[in-house]
Chain A
Amino acid sequence: MTVADLTYFEDLVQGALVESPGLTITETHIIQFQRLTGDWLTGGGGAVPDLLPLCISSGLGWRIAQPLLAVLAFLGFDWQFLRPLSVGDTIWSRSATLSKRAMREGGIVVESRDIVNQRDEIVQAGRLTLLVAKRPVAVA
């Protein structure tokens, strides 16, 4: 068995756009999210709880056409909710590396991320700060 390659700090190119495939938000997603959070105030009448698309976007990044990013830690983010979503809407994510700064262990990466709906409207957007691993030195 081989372990899949990862995208390391060194591999990230500033400004390069990465687009994910889409995912249609269903009633099932909403019920699962409500059960998990215990928040029954949001998500009524087919409205999508605001934090759910953000959470789904973290998994959309697993289905892009490049190896998984070697994230050591998610440090923080700023986020805006721009438009509401309803059951049946399809979202995908578009992200880019805004800046990268090498540290002794790994490097700090600021990523911009838009969540886009089926009408190409940006529904949520923000900036995420991640600690990403450097490529391990090959042992001979």
Chain B
Amino acid sequence: MSEPERRHFDEIEIGEEYESPGRTVTEADIVMFAGLSGDYNVLHTDAEFMKSSIFGERIAHGLLGLAIQSGLLTRGMRPYETIAFMGLRWKFKGPIKIGDTIRVQAKVVGKKETSKADRGVITLSRQVINQRGEVVQEGETDVMVARRQ
């Protein structure tokens, strides 16, 4: 299997939209993320404690949702010829619970030239949406993408 051809800065247009497949977030995802990150906050790991919280049950780490959406969106678009991930601005708007199914909708909202002629910055706005159509996370990501030589 060959990798899909990566897209350059020149070919990407403002207004392009991408949509990922869905993914059901499981208890195993949360357990693995707690182990990997070392974040064992009761919000994510203590089912009994969380019964009496406003959420009623354990919720996924916010950063787990962010990490999962980054992988999901790679399945909904042809990859860019990315030089570097520059930064992001992100809001956690609602909980992701065990069994929720999330997907990502994204749109190109910015295309900026830089002082270097061989590259530019693409800004994507992203929304993470659950099975009820609620936006649980959203934000913008900036990536440095190579121009076609």
Which A positions have Cβ atoms within 8 angstroms of B?
A: 23, 29, 32-33, 35-41, 50-51, 54-56, 58-63, 68, 71, 73-81, 84, 126
Contacts and interface: CB of A to CB of B under 8 A. Distances in A.
B91 A36 contact: no
A71 B41 contact: yes
Interface residues of B, number: 35
B1 to A, nearest CB: 12
Provide the main secondary structure of the chain A interface: mixed
Contacts of B88: 78-79
B12 interface: no
23 contacts: A32-B35, A36-B33, A37-B67, A37-B70, A38-B75, A39-B70, A41-B79, A50-B85, A51-B63, A51-B70, A55-B33, A55-B37, A56-B36, A58-B37, A58-B63, A73-B92, A74-B62, A75-B91, A76-B92, A77-B90, A78-B90, A79-B87, A126-B87
A76 B90 contact: yes
B36 A32 contact: yes
Contacts of A62: 38-40
Nearest to B67: A37
Interface string B84-101: 111111111000000000
A33 B86 contact: no
A63 B38 CA distance: 9
B136 interface: no
Contacts of A80: 86-87
B17 interface: no
Nearest to B79: A41
Interface string B15-42: 0000000010000010011011111110
B108 interface: no
Given A23-B38, A38-B71, 8 more contacts: A33-B67, A37-B71, A38-B74, A58-B39, A76-B139, A80-B86, A81-B84, A81-B85
Contact of A81 (B38, B70, B86, B90): B86
Contacts of A73: 92
